[in-house]
Amino acid sequence: MASSEGPAPSTTAATPAAAPTDTASSKPQQHQLPVAVVCVGMAGSGKTTFMQRINAHLHGQKEPPYVINLDPAVLNVPFESNIDIRDSVNYKEVMKQYNLGPNGGIITSLNLFATKVDQILGFLEKRTAPDPEQPNKKPIKHILVDTPGQIEVFVWSASGQIILESLASSFPTVIAYVIDTPRTASTSTFMSNMLYACSILYKTKLPMILVFNKTDVKDADFAKEWMTDYDAFQRALAEDEESNAFGGVEGEGGGSGYMSSLLNSMSLVLEEFYTHLSVVGVSSMTGEGVDDFFVAVQEKAKEFAQDYQPELERKRHERDEQKRKTREKELDKMMKGMSMDNSGGGAAGASGSGSNVVRPPTDDDDDLDVPSDDQDDDYADADDEYDREGLQARYAAAAEAQGSSTMDEASFAKYIHSQRG
Q: Which domains does the chain have, with CATH numbers?
A: 38-225+279-318 (3.40.50.300)
Residue 365 scores a pLDDT above 50 = no
Residue 359 scores a pLDDT above 60 = no
CA separation (Å) from 78 to 88, 154, 179, 353?
19, 21, 20, 78
Among the ranges given (62-76, 182-196, 258-272), the one the predictor scored with the smallest mean pLDDT: 258-272
Tell me the pLDDT band of 390, cut-offs 50, 70 and 90. Answer: low
Tell me the pLDDT band of 397, cut-offs 50, 70 and 90. Answer: low
Q: What is the per-residue pLDDT for 15?
A: 39
10 compared with 122, residue with greater pLDDT = 122
Q: Rounded distance, CA 152 to CA 155, Å?
A: 5
DSSP assignment, residue 45?
S
pTM of this prediction exceeds 0.75? no
Tell me the pLDDT band of 360, cut-offs 50, 70 and 90. Answer: very low
Tell me the pLDDT band of 51, cut-offs 50, 70 and 90. Answer: very high
Mean pLDDT of 127-150: 86
CA 177 to chain centre: 18
pLDDT tens-digit readout, 265-299? 888 778 778 887 889 999 999 999 999 999 999 99
Q: What is the per-residue pLDDT for 414?
A: 55
Q: Which of 160, 149, 162, 218 is nearest to 186 (CA)?
A: 218
213 compared with 11, residue with greater pLDDT = 213
304 compared with 3, residue with greater pLDDT = 304
Among the ranges given (311-315, 365-369, 373-377), the one the predictor scored with the smallest mean pLDDT: 365-369
* Partner residues linked to 66 by β-bridges: 143
CB of 342 closer than 8 Å to CB of 395: no
3-state class (DSSP) for residue 46: coil
Tell me the pLDDT band of 229, cut-offs 50, 70 and 90. Answer: confident
Task: State which of 228-242, 331-345, 369-383, 396-410 shows the largest mean pLDDT.
Answer: 228-242
Maximum Cα–Cα distance across the chain: 130
Q: What is the per-residue pLDDT for 245?
A: 65
Neighbours of 182 (CB within 10 A): 13
CA separation (Å) from 103 to 118, 150, 157?
25, 8, 11
DSSP assignment, residue 374?
G
163 compared with 259, residue with greater pLDDT = 163
CB of 108 closer than 8 Å to CB of 157: no
CB of 89 closer than 8 Å to CB of 109: yes
283 compared with 320, residue with greater pLDDT = 283
Among the ranges given (72-86, 212-226, 325-339, 389-403), the one the predictor scored with the smallest mean pLDDT: 389-403
Tell me the pLDDT band of 143, cut-offs 50, 70 and 90. Answer: very high
Residue 351 scores a pLDDT above 50 = no
Q: Which residues contact 175 (CB under 8 A, 6 or more apart)?
A: 38, 40, 200, 201, 204, 206, 207, 208, 209
Q: What is the per-residue pLDDT for 5?
A: 41
| Dihedral-angle region of residue 404 (phi above 0 means left; psi in -120 to 50 means alpha; beta otherwise) | alpha
384 compared with 230, residue with greater pLDDT = 230
Strand ranges (DSSP E) for 267-348?
278-281
Average pLDDT over all residues of the chain? 76
CA-based torsion, 129, 130, 131, 137: positive or negative: positive
Residue 32 scores a pLDDT above 50 = yes
Tell me the pLDDT band of 348, cut-offs 50, 70 and 90. Answer: very low
Mean pLDDT of 104-114: 93
Tell me the pLDDT band of 310, cut-offs 50, 70 and 90. Answer: confident
Q: Rounded distance, CA 396 to CA 196, Å?
A: 72
Residue 188 scores a pLDDT above 80 = yes
CB of 211 closer than 8 Å to CB of 286: no
